[in-house]
Chain A
Amino acid sequence: MKIELFSPILIPFLTAIFLLFAWGRIRLQRVVSVTGAAALLVSSLVLLLTVHGDGIQAGQVGNWPAPFGITVVADIFSAMMVNLTGVIGLSVVFYSLSNIDREREHYGYHPLMHVLMMGVNGAFLTGDIFNMYVWFEVMLIASFVLMELGNEKAQLEGAIKYVTLNLMSSAFFLTAVGILYGVVGTLNLADLAVRFRSEVDCPMVRTVAVLFFLAFGIKAAVFPLFFWLPASYHTPPAPVSAIFAGLLTKVGVYALIRVFTLLFIQDPVLTHVLILAAAGFTMATGVLGAVSQNEFRRILSFHIVSQIGYMIMGLGLATPLGMAGSVFYIFHHVIVKTNLFLVSGAASKLGKSYDLKKLGGLYGRYPWLAALFLIPALSLAGVPPLSGFWAKLLLIKAGLEAGRYTIVGVALVVGLMTLYSMTKIWNEAFWKPGKDVASPPGPSISRAALALTVLPMAGLALTTLAIGIDAEILLNLAAGAADQLMDSSLYVQAVLGGGQ
């Protein structure tokens, strides 16, 4: 039993159980919640260091040998994703301390948060496609309740849309798993990879590939399956939508990358052209949707969709550089996007609205907030020297090398339009003179609460800056992850041993 491999799942699990026992004792829950999130971050860093040093780690639950037992695997890519869960989890839990109301805390906000993180980490670390389904459901059920907790009108409406489309995607996922089992007779990812490479070549495999693309595409909000996202992500309180925006769609992207690098590589012309086309449309529709919006978080939600396009663009290119670009992009995007949602929460708290028409004058009153917005916003648009610039640079370079000029053109134009809509938020919420300067909303927020709000945002902004200034560390990690993704024999060997 490799403890560093299982701890990113066990820590949130134990934390959630403990929090359930402390039901109603909010002060205790807060302490435990922050401690648990911090422990998760530490354990995820340990995992990343282990994987980086010793190669892919694999473990079997209950010690049953690989194709039969429950496999847990961590390559650099999944370790990086687990690391992101740690970073985002800690920031959001910290931010929640001053930005979530007592009512929600009473009804299980903290345990749900940790169940959500457990589900996300489980999905990143599992080496078995059916287990991935189970972890998806764990994550989804926690997210359903978080989405709906509080019973506000908009939340319930958003929850109906969110729940319906995600359950549909689960049905697709389950169907695909069923057919896959019928065709190949195994569900272990490494074992599947071996069988796919050696024997299976039947038309059914393509059906399964497309079903998986649909199932994960809905979760990842890929064109044309993204409509649930901008309809629901802006309805729950800011910390909830921040963790959703940061992590949940990325689980879908992770699953897409995993499945389309490990399993469905026989027919790259079909699958990768499909993915590349979806990537282009996702970028373009997402950013066009964002341009037409007037609500802070709805603009950001549409940008999630647009950015998903970049992440799967690298997958569609299917070159080592493209894959490294995707991994880099995901890492940068999760940090930046979560930060933007946290900033939007702070802006609405200080400016009393999410509506850009009603907001204004935030720069004059809170210049620090403007700075905290500007760093992730410019990074999202890809302005050097911030992290987004390197992410886009990698993808565009990979696109040019692969000779896919159309998608490169789309990516560049979309980057420009991202800058435009970030400017719009800047103009409306921060630069434009405020309407009611006469009634400063000072007394409602205490100094301590403000510090708790600012700290996670500042931490994430500094991370963005650090990635931008010293991009080489993350670049090397992403390149390592891409090498492992492109060469599935490493993964197979780690899980099944040298015998295969």
Chain B
Amino acid sequence: MEAVLSILVGGLYGAGVYMMMRRSIVKLIIGLALLGHGSNLLILLMGMLTRGRPAVIPPDQTQLVSAFADPVPQALILTAIVIGFGVLAFTVVLIRGTYKTLNTDDLDQLHMTDSIHPKNGE
């Protein structure tokens, strides 16, 4: 299971970086999302995978004795997913606004703010 997940995480990072290096803004956002998913899975993987052992204390005991699934990575991932979702929603609105205002989805066209002589866009 670890091996599969490792390959998946690597694949997601690779695909994310590849998409970010394309010229289209939409692909850039997809790349960012993939990168986020990759890091979420990485946290799960690093927290040691345990199957079928919830971190719940049985009613007749006072503490956990056997090996159990660490709940912390899951809590971290949950937080990270929520944040990632919010940010993704924002970026989608941002690229829509950018496309409507600048009429391009080509990142190479976005060089106005980097030129030495300001063109007075404002």
Q: Give Cα A487–Cα B22 distance, bound, in whole angstroms.
A: 46
The reply to whether the CB of A124 lies closer than 8 angstroms to some CB of chain B is no
- Is A158 interfacial (CB-CB < 8 Å)? yes
Chain A interface main SS type = helix
- Given contact pairs A144-B90, A171-B36, A153 touches B47 in the complex (Cβ within 8 A): no
Contacts A161-B113, A167-B87 known; A154 to B72 CB distance under 8 Å? no
Contact at B35–A354, with CB atoms within 8 Å? Answer: no
Once the chains bind, are A182 and B91 in contact (CB under 8 Å)? no
* Contacts A157-B112, A174-B80, A178-B42; A294 near B121 (Cβ below 8 A): no
B101 to chain A, nearest CB (A): 5
How many A-B pairs fall under 8 Å by CB? 124
Determine the chain A residues whose CB is within 8 A of the CB of B48 once the complex forms: 182
Given the known interface contacts A145-B90, A160-B110, A164-B20, the answer about A294 and B98 at a Cβ–Cβ threshold of 8 Å is no
Q: Is the interface of B mostly helix, strand, loop or mixed?
A: helix
> How many angstroms from the CA of A171 to the CA of B32 in the assembled complex?
8
B55 on interface, CB distance cutoff 8 Å: no
Q: How far is the CA of A164 from the CA of B32 in the complex (A)?
A: 8
Q: How far is the CA of A187 from the CA of B87 in the complex (A)?
A: 24
Contact B76 A130 (CB under 8 A): yes
CB of B102 closer than 8 Å to a CB of A: yes
Is residue A156 contacting chain B, with contact meaning CB distance below 8 A? Answer: yes
Pick from B32, B36, B101, B113: contact of A158, CB under 8 Å: B113
Interface pair A231/B116, CB less than 8 Å apart: no
A223 to chain B, nearest CB (A): 17
Q: Contacts of A152 on B, CB cut-off 8 Å?
A: 121-122
Size category, B interface: 35 or more
Judge if A20 is at the interface, Cβ distance under 8 Å: no
Bound-state Cα–Cα, A292 to B87, Å: 35
Which residue of B25, B32, B73, B114 is within 8 Å of A181 (Cβ)?
A: B73
With a CB–CB cut-off of 8 A, which chain B residues contact A182? 45-48
Contacts of B118 in A (CB 8 A): 294-295, 298, 354-355
Decide: A232 and B42 in contact? CB cutoff 8 A. Answer: no
Q: State how many angstroms separate the Cβ of A429 from the closest Cβ of chain B.
A: 14
Give 1 or 0 for each of A260-297: 1 = CB within 8 Å of chain B CB: 00000000000000000000000000000000111100
Residues of B within 8 A of A231 (CB): 113-114
Q: Which of A118-164 contact B (CB under 8 A)?
A: 130, 133-134, 137, 140-141, 144-145, 148, 151-154, 156-161, 163-164
A141 to B91, CA, bound (A): 10
- Which residues in A have their C-beta under 8 angstroms from that of B42? 175, 178-179
Q: Which residue of B lies closest to A227 (CB)?
A: B114
Q: A153-B112, A156-B101, A160-B110 are in contact. Are A167 and B120 (CB under 8 A)?
A: no
B15 CB to closest chain A CB, in angstroms?
13
Closest to A174 in B: B39
Which B86-122 residues sit within 8 Å CB-CB of chain A? Answer: 86-87, 90-91, 94-95, 97-98, 101-102, 107, 110, 112-114, 116-118, 120-122
12 CB contacts below 8 A, A to B, read: A134-B83, A153-B102, A157-B98, A160-B98, A164-B28, A167-B32, A171-B16, A171-B32, A178-B39, A182-B48, A294-B116, A298-B118
